[in-house]
Structure 1
């Protein structure tokens, strides 16, 4: 069996045509989706990049791997201690190691491991090709390496090739010669001047007045597709266009990969998977162009699976899945077994039969820009915030995604019974995680003890001064009161 997994960093599903987007961002992916299963409700367990890919590659949540942050102790896997043998868990029960045990040649074209010093992530790969720019590579620097490998190896059997594109990730850096195919096209209808103004009056890293982080107004000089601030609807357009151009650019390269497989006459014998490590907030919760929350837009990811012989006609799967449930499913479909230590569970039987078999609820986590655990169930997402990352996040927030798809109206005060239900699910999840952990530490507590999310540590004093200097002293006062111990 041949498997191609295209992993597009920061790709949110609702900016793809096959998920209903009005712009033509993804003609090649959309064409693939017409012969595939399109998963509507696939979520990562832990956000963003390093926790997410560690979870997927290990089949285990961040609670169990220990990796929930981008720096500090919780950016590294738990030590396995004196009982660790010659091979650690990533080598024995990781996704790639298990595929390799099934006779698969496991290959990656990605700079991810080096970007995050995620050396554990390499476990199980037989071949590693690093484009060498620590995640700042563009698709034109990734595709030639992947095409070269395909031309040399695609006609052999039993391989799994992972290709990582970064192009929708901030800062938007699609080559200028690619131009802007969306110039003048309508924005997403929810992005109005009223929404922009509300964001402008707010605060937080990557908010409308600080979209590049903490107020680096010269950032756009290095990246001309990125506006300095979201100070007008023209800037909103520039920001959304910058993201969408990155998606279209990556999609073009997906088309090149598929063309190579077709030319080599193996496309109809290759499983093709489109996925992402996380999504992207594009104004939701006043976060512009980053992945800072445990909400719908950071944690919902595309999953499109074209499997010759199983997905000849298009199908939509609306069940709730963790991303590593698909990893478990792939193992079983290829004849393997899911290890007992995995949190991922296979739905291979449902996939084969064209039915749905998901989970009743999901718990998704964020610990790099804020500390949150959220419960996704029915039409709702309920966010529990332990550290706000200096954003306008309440301790509890509830959104009805069917009526409020961009999380504009917090219902927690109006629907306490739904919040209570969500907190019961969170408590059950916590009990299950604690009971099955090999360690006596909740890694989120490690993050909180170290001073909070990695990217916000030490930033508060200067940010409070910036808020005062930019006419937002009331926000400065509120932040200082909430985080008195950090000043």
Structure 2
């Protein structure tokens, strides 16, 4: 069996043609979706990059692994402790190890492990190609190495390949010679009008329209597509073009790999998985070029699976999150746990092979790198509960009908306290159940809070307030100080 997993950083499903986007961003990805199964409501339960991939690999939520942020002890996988033997349980039972245990030669083209000092990510690989740029490499630097490996070994049987592309991730950086295929294409979902954009220009907090570079408007010459700020409607449209160019550039590289498989007559029998670690805010909540919340744009991710003999041209509407992939692969390949281990995820192998619905009735989502939030995704709704807003002025509770209002414009919390109560109860019950299973007595979200708050917001309040002084946003400084009295 031959399996390729395309792990594309920061990829929003609603910017892919197979998910209904009208711009031609993803013809190669769309072709795989047509030959396989598309999951419509798939989420990363722990955002952003590092916590998401920790959940993906371990099959466990961050509340158990301890990885919920980008700094402090909440950025490290918890030590197994006394029960650890010669090798630790996560390395022995993680996602990539399932492929190797099934007898496949495993190879990864990714610099993720070095980017976040997360070497557990490489567990299960026979070969690891690290490009040494910690995620700043272009797809055009990765694909030739992939094709070289395929030329040497691709026609052999029984291998699994992991290909990690970063091009949709900030800073947006498709090469200049790629051009802009969307320059004259209107925005398919032109939801940001003059009034909404005027509100965005008054937004307080990092990664707003005035501070694309998180805390300021610095523009780096080596990234001409990535602005320091968006101050006009045309800037905003150019900004979305840049994100879409990153997707299309990655997609063009995926096409080269698919073309190789087809030329060798291997495509039909190959399994292909396409997914992402998280999405991206492109104006939602007043945020641009960031994935720093536990909301719909950040946590909703694509999942496309083409499996030999499996469902073809189908859609899976049920709720899933990325801890579900490891148990699914385990069932599809017939592998077993080593020692005492369990997944929080639930296998959807029958969805892949037979199209049966294996969805959950709700999900709980967490973000502790830029803010501290937990959210409940149920029915058509997303309930967001903020513990630390990362120096944004988010209300404590938010509620959105994500089907009718995917860009989160109308907070229904005041109108539907009953649904807020339901969302809060789902989160509380989930925390209780996860802590019962945990070997540790501390919820890592509160570890983040006790260690000074989210990594990307620590110690920045006073310098940011100085930036706001003398601007139209200065009137919001007292509210900032009221909401964040400890800085």
TM over 0.5: yes
Q: Could you say which TM-score interval applies, normalised by the shorter chain?
A: over 0.9
Secondary structure of the 1:382 match is strand
Question: Would you say the 8 A contact 2:94–2:326 is kept in 1?
Answer: no
Partners of 2:369 and 2:455 within 8 A in 1:
yes
- Structure-2 separation of matches of 1:12 and 1:254: 17
Q: Is the 8 A contact 1:12 1:280 kept in 2?
A: yes
CA drift at 1:275 = 0.5
Give the corresponding residue for 1:224. Answer: 224
Match of 2:93 in 1: 93
CA distance in 1, matches of 2:364, 2:437: 16
Q: Answer yes or no: is the 8 Å Cα contact 2:280–2:290 preserved in 1.
A: yes
Q: Does 1:138 align with 2:151?
A: no
Quote the Cα distance in structure 2 between the aligned partners of 1:228 and 1:166: 20
Residue 267 of structure 1: how far off its partner (Å): 1.1
User: Which sits farther off after the overlay, 75-84 or 393-402?
Assistant: 75-84
- For 1:396-447, what per-residue CA distance to the aligned partner results, in whole angstroms no more than 9, with x for missing partners? 1000112211001100010000111111111111111001001111111110
Question: Counterparts of 1:101 and 1:33 in 2: how far apart (Å)?
Answer: 27
Query: 1:34-433 counterparts in 2 under 5 A?
Result: 34-187=34-187, 188-215=189-216, 217-311=217-311, 313-337=312-336, 340-433=341-434
Q: CA deviation at 1:380?
A: 0.2
**Counterpart-to-counterpart distance in 1, 2:415 and 2:365:** 23
TM-score (norm 1): 0.97
Contact persistence 1:294–1:383 (CA under 8 A): yes
CA positional deviation for 1:113: 0.6
Residues of 2 paired with 1:94 and 1:401: CA distance? 32
Tell me the secondary structure at the aligned position of residue 195 of structure 2.
helix
CA contact (8 A) 2:202 2:472 kept: no
The worse-fitting range, judged by mean Cα deviation, of 186-195 and 67-76 is 186-195
Deviations along 1:82-110, whole A, 9 cap, x unmatched? Answer: 33211112222111223222212221100
Report the CA distance between 1:220 and its aligned residue.
Answer: 4.4
Once the two structures are superposed, what CA deviation does each residue of 1:12-38 show, in whole Å capped at 9, x if it has no partner?
A: 000000000111101111112111111
Supply the distance in 2 between the matched residues of 1:246 and 1:122 (Cα, whole angstroms): 26
Query: Which segment is superposed worse, 110-119 or 78-87?
Result: 78-87
Equivalent residue of 2:199, what SS?
Answer: helix
Deviation at 1:349, TM superposition (A): 2.3
Q: What TM-score results when the alignment is normalised by the length of structure 2?
A: 0.97
Q: Is contact 1:154-1:266 (8 Å) kept?
A: no
**For 1:379 and 1:289, how far apart are their aligned partners in 2?**
26
* SS at structure 2 position matched to 1:320: strand
Find the residue that maps to 1:242 and give its secondary structure.
helix
User: What is the SS of the residue equivalent to 2:268?
Assistant: helix
What is residue 24 of structure 1 aligned with on the other side?
24
Q: CA deviation at 1:222?
A: 3.2
Asked whether the equivalents of residues 278 and 301 of structure 1 are also in contact (C-alpha less than 8 Å), the reply is: yes
- Runs of at least 4 residues off by over 6 Å: none
State the distance in 2 between where 1:149 and 1:54 align. Answer: 27
CA contact (8 A) 2:212 2:229 kept: yes
Residues 379 and 401 in structure 1, CA contact (< 8 A), matched pair in contact too: yes
Quick one: distance in 2 between partners of 1:17 and 1:97?
Answer: 32
Question: Structure 1 residue 6: deviation in Å?
Answer: 0.3
Distance 2:215 2:222 in 1: 16
The question of whether the paired residues in 1 share the 8 Å contact of 2:316 and 2:351 is answered with: no
| Cα offset, 1:340, TM superposition | 4.5
Contact 1:226-1:242 within 8 A present in 2 as well: yes
Is contact 1:465-1:476 (8 Å) kept?
Answer: no
Conserved 8 A contact 1:51-1:68: yes
| Cα-Cα RMSD | 1.2
Q: Is the contact made by 2:98 and 2:329 (CA closer than 8 Å) also made in structure 1?
A: no
Retained in 2: the 8 A contact 1:97–1:124? yes
For structure 2, the residue ranges without an aligned partner over 5 or more in a row are none
**Equivalent-residue separation in structure 1 for 2:106 and 2:194 (angstroms):** 48
Match of 2:486, SS state, is helix
Cα distance in 2 for partners of 1:402, 1:369 equals 26
- Structure 2 CA distance, aligned partners of 1:433 and 1:415? 27
Listed as ranges, the gaps of 5+ residues in structure 1 are: none
CA contact (8 A) 2:58 2:326 kept: no
